[in-house]
Each structure stands twice: as structure tokens, then as C-alpha cells.
Structure 1
């Protein structure tokens, strides 16, 4: 399902919205396809879709309802293993976590529970448990989630605040590499993908949150909170 939009003949040179990650208002036009415009922030380098060109909640939910992810699917488990393996290697025995954006078929939480790391789950559509966002955790995961966020700056700061000292935030999302690659990128074809992060974006985010950052795979990011809070 795609949004019903009538794009202007010439896109504005600067985004009509402030950057949803850092709030900068100078994001320049980066790319246009048949459905949407994309703007890139000069401060944090996030590429985003303007608010007026995003799906409405009901249409967004309809796309997610088509997902058929299941913990019984070994291929899906292998996919999640790209985050599971490097993050698990960094956790203390018995560390407890939260899977943010768990989706209609929570699987990563089961994988960690099987390895001795119990996890709570939260998803605004499928597991809307606000109490899960009030606790502290040793680690938080968000797999194929950040590209869907309308307010990633606010949401990621909230997740970081829920981490205990020394805690880990593990993210999976494909990264922007160049303007040329972006134009032919399959990742922008999903109408629910509205924010696109590059490696420089995650370095900016780590500095903003006071965390360190690692890139164990092309689509995996691990951010760690200091062991002592300032």
C-alpha cells in the first residue's frame, strides 16, 4: 500500500520540516522518486521523508500486518542472528533486555530468553505496553525499526535513558552509503521506511547520547552507555 500523493512539479530545495533526529531546519533535497521526496540533514546526515508524505497510521499498520515473521522460521532467526550474536557476546550472564518494535511475531526476545537473557517486548501496534518503557534494562534491541520512526531523536533518546550504566542499544537497519546508491536502493521502496541512517549519522547520535558506537556488520550498530553516568 502506498500513500496517495500529488508531488509538486519542483521539490522545495529545503525540507518543510525540521530534521526528525536533530531538529536542524536546513535539510537539503537529496532524492525524489515517483512517490516521495527525501531530504538530507547537514548536521546529523539523516535522510528523511517529509511528514506530509508519510503513511497514515491505518495504512502503516496494514503494511505491517502483511509481515509473516515467525520464531519457527530458521531463516528469520539467521537474519536476526546478525545482531543477536555480537550483542550476546557482550552481555553479562543473566542480563535483561527489551525488544523495542517487536512486531507481530516476536522472535529476537525468544532467542535471547533461550540464551538466558529474559526480555520484555514493546510495539506500538502489537504490544503497546507502556509499562515496559518505564523500567531499566541491561540491553535494548530494535531490529528493522529505526527506519520507521517519525521522531527518531525523541525515541532513541528515550531508549538510551532506559539503559542501566554500561548498557547496550543494539540496532539493525541498512545504512545510506551514497546518493548514487540511494537512488536505486530497494530499502526506500517500502512506504513505511521514512528515516535512513548512515555511518556518520550513528557517530553523531553516539556523541549526542554520550555513548560509544561499533559497527559489527553492514546493517548492525551497537551503542554502549558509559559504566558511570555523568
Structure 2
């Protein structure tokens, strides 16, 4: 079977790593490391994994974790800006934290907040905290987010980034069976170039992508 990159749809994929449970291939165009579709969980099994998470809005440790994305984001947008937390999870913690600071954020999650009306609007900023690595159709997801984001909007992504093959072999992040796409800094650079966005590296696992004014669709 021909492997196709789920992000750029390139066919230049090379084996990056193999373990007892899965294979991992790297695209030579956008540098995304992906798990082939035969290793994907069913929707039921995937939700069962998510149901094990206890990411409560009142958990101070979890708030500290989310603030690594939220605080730099809110420092870049006004309180009049409207946001979307895409893949908000059961606890909807990030939107509650933002609301306490005077910001309005809608929630969307395939399993826990499946509100189609939230995907019918456009937003000044969108957050994806530990979400992008779970989504199989990477190209479809980014195209959808581009449609949802207003010109001059910010896409704030939190996901641990691929460093190199040696680090990948001992990387705990790859062991989560719901993690199927792994992004490198070079992958975000490819994304920025592809969409005409501007990339800002915020932290070791946080990047902001700015939708420049000339990009209107």
C-alpha cells in the first residue's frame, strides 16, 4: 500500500522508527512523522482513551500547563477578540480560564462539545492544546482552521515537537496510541509557507501561526 503524508499528501515517506506496536514514517517534504492508517484506533477505542484523562478546570497543575499557551496568547489579543478552543476536552478548562480574564472563547470537541454551530463562525484566535497530534486528516484539519480564522487571526498550537530520530526512539509522547501525527519545527515552517502564515515559536511545545492580512480565504 502506498503511504501518503496526511498533511502535504506527498508520497516521499521513509521509515523513521518502528516499535513493538506501530510504525512511524517521515515525509521528506513537510517533515511530518505519521503513523500509517492501519494503526489507527477505532472511534470507540479512541474515546475510551480520552475518558481516562482527568483534565479538570479546577486542577492547578493543569491550569499551569495550559497557561503556557494561554498567557502569551492573551497578551497578543484584546478582550474584544473572539476565540475558539478546538478540541477543548471534557473539562473545557481553557475557555473557563480565559473567561475569568474577560475573554470569550467558544468550545468545540468531536466527543465532548460537538457543536457544529461553533464551526460556522470565524474567530480572531483559535487554540489547539494537545489536539493536533490526534487528528488523522491533518490537511483537512488545517484547511478547516484556515477557514475558521479571520485575517490577522492567531492559531495557537500546543504539541510536543519531533527533534531527531535518536530522541524519538525514547520519546514517551509517541507511546500514546491516540497520537498519530508528530510535528517538527520544520513542519510548522512548511505550514506557514503553504498558507502564507507567519510562524512564531513560543515555547518548546507551543507555536503561534499568524494569518496575515493578505490571506483572506
SS in 1 for 2:117: helix
Matches within 5 A, 1:51-200: 51-200=37-186
Match of 1:3 in 2: none
Distance of 1:16 and 1:150 partners within structure 2: 16
Q: CA deviation at 1:42?
A: 0.3
SS in 2 for 1:63: helix
SS in 2 for 1:116: coil
Higher fraction of strand: 2
Please say if residues 196 and 215 of structure 2, whose CA atoms lie closer than 8 Å, have aligned partners that are also in contact. Answer: no
SS in 2 for 1:201: helix
Match of 2:211 in 1: 225
Please say if residues 24 and 34 of structure 2, whose CA atoms lie closer than 8 Å, have aligned partners that are also in contact. Answer: yes
Match of 1:19 in 2: 5
Per-residue CA distance 1:82-104 (angstroms, 9 max, x = gap): 00111111102321100000111
CA RMSD of aligned residues (A): 1.0
Please say if residues 32 and 187 of structure 2, whose CA atoms lie closer than 8 Å, have aligned partners that are also in contact. Answer: yes
TM-score, length basis structure 2: 0.97
Q: CA deviation at 1:228?
A: 3.8
Distance of 2:181 and 2:212 partners within structure 1: 27
Please say if residues 16 and 50 of structure 1, whose CA atoms lie closer than 8 Å, have aligned partners that are also in contact. Answer: no
Per-residue CA distance 1:186-208 (angstroms, 9 max, x = gap): 00010000000000000000111
Distance of 1:227 and 1:134 partners within structure 2: 21
Which of structure 1's runs of 4+ aligned residues deviate more than 4 A? none
Please say if residues 122 and 132 of structure 1, whose CA atoms lie closer than 8 Å, have aligned partners that are also in contact. Answer: yes
Distance of 1:228 and 1:117 partners within structure 2: 26
Q: CA deviation at 1:165?
A: 1.2
Which residues of structure 1 form unaligned runs of 5+?
A: 1-14
Distance of 2:215 and 2:65 partners within structure 1: 33
Q: How many residues of Structure 1 are paired with residues of Structure 2 in the alignment?
A: 216
